[in-house]
């Protein structure tokens, strides 16, 4: 196996959600030529390590599937780089880029191989690690779909090969088909396309079901750097732990009150109109009801009595309808459906925040990986204070920028809030997006990579410092 860059290392940078770029070169932290990557190269060079930066660009969408696709491509890139750099491949992932890197490590069985691990070290910065799992029913359905796809696909492939062979080798068959050949091939093309889609979905589902679980004796650990007030991690943890209850206790029953009154009033009105129509005298002095029962009182006294009696009963009609409606649309749904509805809506809301887009379950947001051992570095001291102070200062400037539009008479408040919300996610106003602006972060990562390249020439990972002050 040829090695083109022996003596050099590859550093793969993996950006997070919403932070992609069109080219590998630029000024974003993960791009070649950016301040962070140049400082990283200089820091490694000072330790005698020559590094090449290889940005991994993925869609950056907040989607589990997008992260899986990014992990697929990252795993392939790492395989190529391993051959080129003799196994010296180091990965740095920010935010959900750390989840992409973690997923790629799972695909490459990092720390689980008997020999030849393709990743030398992995560092994550501000990553909210998810635990991804599948329920028993979803797992069984996934395997059944995979088996069905194979059951269909194998005979289809054999039949397609035979048809192609016969069509190519038998002129009589081509002649018999004549102008209908396009229809045959169209049907086969649609079938083949559908089968490819089925196979892709089946493989995706099987991979999610068979995703590696945590192991206690891995030879490798993820170096996870995070701030205790990281907005992204804290937000996702709070969303996961929030008691999302769109339908509070007895709310369904309470809300059925208006429906009960409305339908009770409707039935009373309808009963009143029907009673008047049936009991008032018609042509010949008799009511319709009187004619039906053989009424002979031309003065209509019995009809009048019946009409008054009917109106006495109308409150009872209202009460019955009120109770029935509140029972059917209030009490029964309250008891039978409120809790399941709360769980469903809660899962949808949390799934939107987590980027869930399939039947897998994403939960247990954490600062450590769920599939690999993790060296957790919780930032504290002056660096943590500076990160927080800078973000707070930027947020203050942001409020000052928009405060007059928020409180101006005649201003579109919705538009002003939209501009504020958009600006609130800018680079400078969050701790989560400003890690790489600080040299101490570079020093932490340089020290960790250097220890992985040559454990005898630097502190071992087991003795790695737990704070930037000790790392300095």
Q: Are 458 and 399 part of one and the same domain?
A: no
373 in a domain, yes or no? no
118 in a domain, yes or no? yes
Q: How confident is the model at residue 218 (pLDDT cuts 50, 70, 90)?
A: low
Listed in order, strand segments (DSSP E) in 109-230 are: 121-125, 129-133, 221-226
Q: Are 23 and 117 part of one and the same domain?
A: yes
Per residue in 143-158, pLDDT tens? 787 788 888 888 888 8
Beta bridge partners of 129: 366
Residues 6+ apart with CB under 8 A from 158: none
Per residue in 330-345, pLDDT tens? 888 888 888 888 887 7
What does the DSSP assignment read for 248-285?
-TTHHHHHHHHHHHHHHHHHHHHHHHHHHHHHS--TTS
Predicted pLDDT of residue 185: 78
Print burial letters for 414-429: b (CB count within 10 Å at least 16), e (below 16): eebeeebeebeeeeeb
Residue 57 has pLDDT above 90, yes or no: yes
Q: How confident is the model at residue 428 (pLDDT cuts 50, 70, 90)?
A: low
454 in a domain, yes or no? yes
Q: How confident is the model at residue 25 (pLDDT cuts 50, 70, 90)?
A: very high
d(CA 397, CA 394): 5
Residue 459 has pLDDT above 90, yes or no: no
185 in a domain, yes or no? yes
Q: Are 15 and 117 part of one and the same domain?
A: yes
366 in a domain, yes or no? no
Q: Are 137 and 110 part of one and the same domain?
A: no
Judge whether 289 and 306 are in contact, CB under 8 Å. Answer: yes
Residues 6+ apart with CB under 8 A from 111: 105, 117, 215, 218, 219, 220, 221, 372, 373
Q: Are 399 and 456 part of one and the same domain?
A: no
CATH number at residue 16: 3.40.50
Q: Which of 287, 322, 346 is the last residue of a domain?
A: 346
150 in a domain, yes or no? yes
Q: Are 32 and 105 part of one and the same domain?
A: yes
Across 91-100, 257-266, 351-360, which has the greatest mean pLDDT? Answer: 91-100
Predicted pLDDT of residue 227: 95
Domain count, the chain: 4
Residue 225 has pLDDT above 80, yes or no: yes
d(CA 399, CA 417): 11
Judge whether 17 and 127 are in contact, CB under 8 Å. Answer: no
Q: Are 70 and 138 part of one and the same domain?
A: no
Predicted pLDDT of residue 469: 36
155 in a domain, yes or no? yes
SS3 123: strand
pTM above 0.85, yes or no: no
Segment 111-139 shows an average pLDDT of 82
Q: Which of 211, 239, 266 is the last residue of a domain?
A: 211
Share of the chain above pLDDT 70, in %: 74
Q: Are 106 and 190 part of one and the same domain?
A: no
Segment 408-419 shows an average pLDDT of 62
Residue 468 has pLDDT above 60, yes or no: no
Q: Which residue has the higher pLDDT, 211 or 316?
A: 316
Per residue in 81-110, pLDDT tens? 998 998 899 999 999 999 999 999 988 888
Residue 398 has pLDDT above 90, yes or no: no
Q: Which residue has the higher pLDDT, 279 or 140?
A: 140
Domain of residue 50 covers 8-125+438-471
d(CA 8, CA 51): 6
Q: Which residue has the higher pLDDT, 444 or 244?
A: 444
d(CA 264, CA 319): 7
355 in a domain, yes or no? no
């Amino acid at each position: 196996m040829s090695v083109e860059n022996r003596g050099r290392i590859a550093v793969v940078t993996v950006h997070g959600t919403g932070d992609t770029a069109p080219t590998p070169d630029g000024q974003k932290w993960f791009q070649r030529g950016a301040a962070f990557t140049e400082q990283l190269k200089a820091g490694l060079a000072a330790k005698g390590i020559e590094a090449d930066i290889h940005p991994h660009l993925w869609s950056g969408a907040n989607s589990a599937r997008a992260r899986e696709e990014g992990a697929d491509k990252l795993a392939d890139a790492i395989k190529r780089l391993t051959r080129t750099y003799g196994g010296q491949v180091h990965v740095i992932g920010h935010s959900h880029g750390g989840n992409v890197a973690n997923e790629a490590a799972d695909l490459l069985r990092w720390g689980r191989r008997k020999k030849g691990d393709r990743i030398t070290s992995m560092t994550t910065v501000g990553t909210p690690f998810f635990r991804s799992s599948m329920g028993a029913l979803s797992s069984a359905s996934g395997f059944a779909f995979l088996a069905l796809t194979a059951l269909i696909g194998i005979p289809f492939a054999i039949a397609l090969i035979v048809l192609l062979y016969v069509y190519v080798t038998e002129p009589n068959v081509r002649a018999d088909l004549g102008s209908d050949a396009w229809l045959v091939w169209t049907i086969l093309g649609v079938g083949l396309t559908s089968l490819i889609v089925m196979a892709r979905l089946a493989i995706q589902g099987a991979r999610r079901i068979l995703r590696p679980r945590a192991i206690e004796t891995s030879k490798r650990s993820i170096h996870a750097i995070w701030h205790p007030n990281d907005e992204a991690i804290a937000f996702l943890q709070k969303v996961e732990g929030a008691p999302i209850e769109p339908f509070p206790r007895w709310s369904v029953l309470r809300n059925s009150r208006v429906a009960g009154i409305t339908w009770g009033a409707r039935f009373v009105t309808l009963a009143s109109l029907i009673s008047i129509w049936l009991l008032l005298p018609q042509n010949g002095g008799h009511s319709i009801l009187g004619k039906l029962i053989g009424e002979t009182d031309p003065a209509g006294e019995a009809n009048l009595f019946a009409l008054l009696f009917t109106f006495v009963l109308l409150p009872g009609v209202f009460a019955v309808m009120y109770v029935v409606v509140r029972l059917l649309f209030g009490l029964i749904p309250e008891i039978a459906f409120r809790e399941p509805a709360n769980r469903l809506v809660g899962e949808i809301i949390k799934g939107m925040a987590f980027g869930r887009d399939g039947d897998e379950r994403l939960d247990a947001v954490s600062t450590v990986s769920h599939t690999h051992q993790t060296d957790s570095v919780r930032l504290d001291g002056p660096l943590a204070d500076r990160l927080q102070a800078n973000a707070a200062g930027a947020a203050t400037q942001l409020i000052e920028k928009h405060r007059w539009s928020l409180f101006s008479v005649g201003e579109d408040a919705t538009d002003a809030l939209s501009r504020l919300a958009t600006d609130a996610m800018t680079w400078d106003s969050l701790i989560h997006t400003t890690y790489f602006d600080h040299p101490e972060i570079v020093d932490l990562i340089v020290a960790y990579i250097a220890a992985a390249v040559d454990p005898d020439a630097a502190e071992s990972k087991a003795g790695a410092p737990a704070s930037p002050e000790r790392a300095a």
